[in-house]
Structure formats: structure tokens, C-alpha cells
Amino acid sequence: MSGQIQPRNTGAITSPGGPRSPMMITPQITPKEILGILRRHIWMIVILTMLFSVLFLGLWFAKKTCWPEYTAVSGIDVLPQGLTDPMEIGQPSINRDVQFQFRNTKAEMLKSPGTLEEFIKLDTIQDLAWYKQFHKSRWKRFSGPILSLFTKNGNGNENGEGHDEADQAKAVIRALKDLQKNLSIVAQRDATYIRVAMTCSGSKGKQECAEVVNRLIDMFYQQEDGRAKADFRARITQLNKQQGDLQKEITDLDRELDRFRRQAPIAQIANLGGNQFRDFLDEKLGNLETDVSRLEGEVKRFSSLLESARRRAEGEYDEVVRELIERDPVATTMRQRIALLEVQQAEMLARFGENHTRVMEIRNSLRQAREDLAYRQNEIGDIERKRIYIVTNDEVAASMEELTSRQEELRKSREEHAVLSGIRDQYDRTYVKREDRQQLLQSINTQIEKVKALIDDPELSKIKPMLRAIPPRERSAPNLLFYLSMGIFFGLALGVGLAFAIEMLNDLVRTPSDVMRHLHVPLLGMICHAEDDHDLEGIDLYHVVRQAPYSVTSECYRQLRTNLKLSGTVDTQKVLLVTSAGPGDGKTSVALNMTTTFVADDQKVLLIDANFRRPTTSLSQLREAENGTDSHPDFGLSNYLMGQCQEEQSIIRSSGIEDFDIVDAGPLPANPGELLGSDRMMKLLDYARTAYDYVVLDGPPLLVSDAKTLAAIADGTVLVFNAATTKRGAAQRALRELRAINANVIGTVLMGVKTMKGGYFEEMFRTYQKYQQVPVRPAV
């Protein structure tokens, strides 16, 4: 039952206070609903849990008695990866991730099918009972005489060797599968070993599981040790071959160096050793380069002197020539005489004047002296320049001869330098190559010594067996706690799964959550199932409100009335149609009891039985007795709609309850749908709206078209669903059809709701019954 009004999303009738926000339940299941499902099916869950617990305990006991399992554990210590240099002191740094990857690689090699198959084929393993259990084929136990008929078939000889080989191969395959299933080989990340564990079943499994582990570890150690030694021997062979090749190459290079020394153009260096030859070549080339530089400098100096002498002979006097002229004694005497004449001329000019004869003579003498001096100076300058030029030219000629000789010597030195440079380059390349090969040969010799020192190392394979596995003291399986927990888990999981499957596969509209989740329509009220309300024993369900007013069901109808009143005003919701998705959903009970609750609320109500196809016979029980006779009109709704009576009052009768009138259905007409949608029906409803507070139409189910006709003309439609019979698809289809004709669906009523553990009704029943109890007052 819902204690609140839940208006529709679209087209909902509003209350005077304005529109209400819709209260919709999300599609996800809530924790409260999950708890309710578990409480409703708690006994099924408990029984299945107990059943599976007992079943798994039985399996545990059977396996413990007939086929116990024993597990032996040992390990293989994995040493750090890489070669350990015996000539170095200290431990190299170890990368933990790299070492774990190395251990994991070893573990994968150990549990590879090839290694396991080779292990199975060992004679010591095939003698164990563990292997013999796979060697005997089941068909061979029953094929005895028949097998002898096929011994001569080309696949084996008369003794059945072909069948033995086939059986042997099948036994190996079965043993390999058993190893892959029961053998555990795990590389430990935080330790330096590989954990090896083997599980064997049966009476002899306690001893043989340890044998399998120990022999597997021994075989793997021998394989890895042999493989490592074979790799080292192959490496020594390869190093020896490289050593011989290098020695041969070094001998060839020594011969080539000797050939370079013999081919040298200087005889005295032909027999020098390697380093002396290189040093002599460097010294010789250095001297030649020094001579070439010196001769080039002298040639440049002589050329400069010759050019300077030529300029001095052809050009103006330079400082040297002027200095020689100044030091000439004749020129000095002539300069003194000129100075004396200049003095005399000055005295004569002062004494006799410019045009005096004596002055003129002195002036002429002075001019002549100056000309003589200039001539003398030119003569001396020319002589000196010619002398210097001749001397210089002689020196240049001598220098040119020496320069020519030096240039020839320079050319020869350069040619010799080029030859010696080529020889030296070839000699250097060959010498460097020879030194590289010598160093490589020394490195290979060192490696050979190291490998020979490591080949006898017991840790060469990088694995080392740990303590040998011992027969286990206790069985590893079956484990009582494991089987018991698995029984409880599977039983609990199956019980919970079945509980949710039962709930999820049930497509009935049973709870308010179903209405909100799947139908998306307001729920006006819920009517509890008659079996859950003990106050309804012997009560007619059509008249619950009148006959059992203090029952929970009556309270549900009163809450339905309250929700209807709060869903809209009286002026807008006077004509109410009560219909259902299918027949037998309880719409007539809802219509009668809802009408009774309206009457009890001082409302004048008219109930019209509009179900022509199946009229409500219980309405005939509501008649007013007058003078000992029944006062019942002769006409019903169909008579009025077909025009057999004209007045509305002729079809309205009293129910025997004040303010509660009834219109019976009347005889079944040929066209009920057309009559219900006629103008006379509209006229009757208009009259009822003015004369009554509420008009309730008890209509047919939506299986027929009559209900849609009534829904189209009614002010509001109340759709009744039965929790025991109405399926979700039918309810959704009914709502879809009403919305298709724009019917005003006010809400729905859920009939026949049973109490569920953890549900609303269970708590409401308990609280309501406790509330209804009259407290006993103590006597005063």
C-alpha cells in the first residue's frame, strides 16, 4: 500500500496546490529489495547450503578414504646469470628483475613438454607405480582373446610388438598430461630458487611424489650441466680457431713489414728494425723539410736584393747614394767655394749695387760653381749606383747559381720525401694492424685460460639442487576446510542464484517497485490479499468496507480514497472509470468498496455498472426494502441508451445506503461499444455530474473495446492490476492502449498483494494490529 499520492509524468491531474514532482523508482534494484528477496527465500538458501555442504563432505570422505593426495616439495637454486671471472675479486652487481627473468626462463625450460617427455622415458621413472598406472590400457583388460586375431596385421609381429609400442606411446601421453596437471614449477620473485612440487594420488603416492621430484631435478641438473659444458667446449674450439687465424695473420703482417724495410730507397736503413726504421724515416723527412724551407728563404732574399739594386740604379737617389755624395771631398770643396762666393756677392751688392760689374762677375762665378757641384754630384751618384748594381748583380748571379743547385736539391728532397712518406704510411698502417691483432690475440689467450678454468666449475650450469625432497608426513588433499567451504559456497551461490532467478523470471506485477520500475505510472493504493487479513473470514470481498470496517483491507480502501481526492479537484474528476487489464483482477471489488469509502466521507455517489458483457450480480444485493418489497427499476443502462426510457431517474435506484445510488447494466445490447460512446451516454454523465459528487463507472476489462470508449469520455481512469494474475506485458499493453486514446489515467490500484518477508505489508499488518488493540486500563 502506498501512503503518498504519486502523480503521473504526463497529463497528470494537478491538485489545488500545483503540480507535484513525480516519484519514480530507478530501474536498478535497491539494497532493500535485495535483502527482501533473500529473506523471502531464506529457507531455500539454507537448505541448498546444507545439502551441498553434506554433499561435499561426502566427497571429502570418499576421496580421503580411497584416493588421498600427497605433495612433495623441493627446489632448484638459480645462481646469478653471466660468467664469473675467476681472476676478479668480489661479486658483480645483480639486477633483480633480470635475475627473476632468468629464473623464470629456467622454470619454463624445466616444465616444457620436451623436458617432461624426456623425463618420462627414463627407465627409473617407468619402473615407478606412478607411471605403470598409465601403461595399462583399459581396453586391453577386456580384449584378451580378440587381440590375438590382429597380431599379424603388418603393424607388429606375432608377439604384439606394434600394440606394445602404441600402448607405450599412449602411456607417455597420459603421464605427460598428469605431470602438466600435478607438477608445479614456479620461479620465486623474492627468492633465488625455483619451487618444484609434485602431487601423487593413491597408496604409493606418499613415496613416489618425492621420487618424481628428486629424479626430475637430477635429470634437469645433468642436462643443464652437460649443455653448459658442451657450450664451453664449443667456445674453446672456436677460440682456438680464432687464435690460429690471428697468429697466421700476425706472421703475414711481420713479413710485409720486412718487405717495406727492404724496399726502402736508402740502403743504410734497409736493415733497421721496426721502431728504428720509423725513427730514421721521421728524422730524414724532418731534415729535408728544414733544407727546403732554408733554400726557399735564400731564394726570396736574393731576389729582393736584386730588385732593390735595379731600383737604385734606375730610380732617384736613395739615402745610401746621397750619403756617398755628401762624403765626396771634391764636392765638399765645391760647396765651400759656393759658400764663399755667396758671401762675396752679398758684400758687393751692399757696396756697389745690383748692376755693378764686380757683382755681375761674382754672380756668374757663383752660378758656374753651382753647376759644377751639381755635375759633380750626378757624376758621383751615377758611378756609385753603377758600382752597387754591378756588385749586387754579381752577388745575385752567384746566388742564382746556388739557388738553382738548391732548387734541384729541393726537388730531389721532395721526391725522396714523397717516397719515404708513402713507405712510412704503408708501414704505419701495417704496423698498427699488427699491434691490434697482437692485442686481440692476447685477449683470446686470456679468454681461453678463463674458459679452461671455468669448465670444471660445478656451478657452471647456473643451477644447483637444493635439499632433496622427502616423503610428506601428511596428505595435501582432500582438505576438509576447503571442501566444506566449497560446499557452503556452491550451496549458497546456487540458493542465492535461484532466489534471484525466481524473482527476476516472475513477470507478475506484485509490488509497488514493479509498478514504478516497469509501468512508470502513479500507484494510488494497494489492497492486501484476503488470506493475509484474518479479519475477512466470512466477509464478502465486495463489501469489505461496510462489513469489516476495522480490517487492514478496509484501511487500504480508505487510503485509496484519500489518494484519489488529493490527486485532483472534485470539479475535474467527478466521473471515474474503474477498469483492469484482464478479467478477474478485482476491479468490481475496488469500485464497490471505493464507492463505499466516498459515501462514508459524506459524498453523494452514483455507481454505474457499464459492463454489459458480464454484469455485476453483486449489485443486485444492494436494494432498498420498502414495505417488505424490493423497489427496483425495470430498466437498466442499456435500456436508457437504446431509448426504451427517456428519463435518467428511471434507471437510477437506491442501494439501501444513504447517498449511494446504482445504475444496473440492463440486458446485453447488440452494439455495446457504440451505445457507450453515444450522445445519450454523454447526457447521462452530464446529469450525474450535476446530481452527484462522484460517478463511478464499473467498466469492462480492456480486453474489449467498451473499456476504451468509457476511458475516452470519463474524467479519469483507475486501472486495477492483480498481483497474482496480471503480468507485466499485459499491464504495459493496457497502459499503452489507454495513452494511445489520450485517456486520463489517474493511477493504478494493486489488488491481492501478499505479505512478503521484509515487505511493507508484513510490517504494516503487525503495526496496525498492535495499534488496533485497546489498552487495558488498570482498575481504580
Residue 141 C-alpha cell reads as 583388460
pLDDT of residue 26: 43
Residue 113 C-alpha cell reads as 613438454
Average pLDDT, the chain: 79
Residue 223 one-letter amino acid? Q
Burial code (b: 16+ CB inside 10 Å, e: under 16) for 28-40 equals ebeeebeebbbeb
Taking only the tens place, the pLDDT of each residue in 641-674 is: 998 888 888 899 888 888 899 999 888 888 888 8
Taking only the tens place, the pLDDT of each residue in 441-473 is: 888 888 888 887 777 776 777 888 888 888 888
On the question of pLDDT at 54 being above 90, the answer is yes
Question: Are residues 509 and 731 in contact, defined by beta-carbon separation less than 8 angstroms?
Answer: yes
In percent, the amount of the chain with pLDDT more than 70 equals: 79
Largest alpha-carbon pair distance within the chain? 209
As a whole number of angstroms, the distance between CA 147 and CA 140 comes to 8
327, with CB counted inside 10 A (0-12, 13-18, 19+), is exposed
497, HSE (Cβ side, Cα atoms, 13 Å): 8
Tell if the pTM clears 0.75, that is, is over it: no
> pLDDT band for position 580 (50/70/90)?
very high
Which range (236-250, 360-374, 762-776) has the least confidence? Answer: 762-776
Residue-by-residue DSSP string for 682-717: HHHHHHHHHH-SEEEEEPPPTTSHHHHHHHHHSSEE
On the question of pLDDT at 548 being above 80, the answer is yes
On the question of pLDDT at 350 being above 60, the answer is yes
Question: Are residues 747 and 519 in contact, defined by beta-carbon separation less than 8 angstroms?
Answer: no
More confident residue, 197 or 404: 197
On the question of pLDDT at 316 being above 70, the answer is no
Which value, in Å, is the radius of gyration of the alpha carbons in the chain? 66
On the question of pLDDT at 69 being above 70, the answer is yes
On the question of pLDDT at 137 being above 60, the answer is no
Taking only the tens place, the pLDDT of each residue in 213-230 is: 999 999 988 888 888 888
> pLDDT band for position 768 (50/70/90)?
low
Residue 253 C-alpha cell reads as 703482417
Question: At 519, is the secondary structure helix, strand, or coil?
Answer: helix
More confident residue, 148 or 293: 293
On the question of pLDDT at 607 being above 90, the answer is yes
Nearest to 152 by CA among 139, 141, 165, 161: 161
pLDDT of residue 698: 93
Residues 385-405 have a mean pLDDT of 74
More confident residue, 611 or 759: 611
On the question of pLDDT at 631 being above 80, the answer is no
pLDDT of residue 55: 94
> pLDDT band for position 776 (50/70/90)?
very low
> pLDDT band for position 763 (50/70/90)?
low
> pLDDT band for position 265 (50/70/90)?
low
Rounded to 10 deg, the angle between the 274-314 and 205-262 helix axes is: 40
pLDDT of residue 288: 67
pLDDT of residue 143: 46
> pLDDT band for position 269 (50/70/90)?
low
As a whole number of angstroms, the distance between CA 280 and CA 267 comes to 12
pLDDT of residue 680: 92
> pLDDT band for position 376 (50/70/90)?
confident
As a whole number of angstroms, the distance between CA 524 and CA 8 comes to 11
Q: What is the DSSP letter of 263?
A: T
On the question of pLDDT at 571 being above 70, the answer is no
Query: Which residues are paired to 463 by β-bridges?
Result: 78
- 465-to-123, 208, 471, 545 alpha-carbon distances in Å: 21, 19, 17, 90
On the question of pLDDT at 513 being above 60, the answer is yes
Question: At 588, is the secondary structure helix, strand, or coil?
Answer: helix
pLDDT of residue 275: 59
Distance of CA 86 to the CA centre of its chain: 47
As a whole number of angstroms, the distance between CA 576 and CA 13 comes to 13
> pLDDT band for position 341 (50/70/90)?
confident
On the question of pLDDT at 389 being above 90, the answer is no
As a whole number of angstroms, the distance between CA 264 and CA 270 comes to 6
Q: Which of 190-204, 524-538, 570-584, 686-700 has the highest mean pLDDT?
A: 686-700
More confident residue, 267 or 244: 244
- 725-to-377, 585, 750 alpha-carbon distances in Å: 158, 7, 11
Question: Are residues 716 and 744 in contact, defined by beta-carbon separation less than 8 angstroms?
Answer: yes
Residue 540 C-alpha cell reads as 464478502
In sequence order, the 6+-apart residues with CB closer than 8 A to the CB of 736 are none
Question: Are residues 751 and 723 in contact, defined by beta-carbon separation less than 8 angstroms?
Answer: yes
> pLDDT band for position 7 (50/70/90)?
very low
More confident residue, 521 or 21: 521
As a whole number of angstroms, the distance between CA 166 and CA 163 comes to 5
> pLDDT band for position 267 (50/70/90)?
very low
On the question of pLDDT at 479 being above 70, the answer is yes
Number of Cβ within a 10 Å radius of residue 87: 8
Q: Which of 94-103, 209-218, 314-323, 387-396 has the highest mean pLDDT?
A: 209-218
As a whole number of angstroms, the distance between CA 484 and CA 311 comes to 129
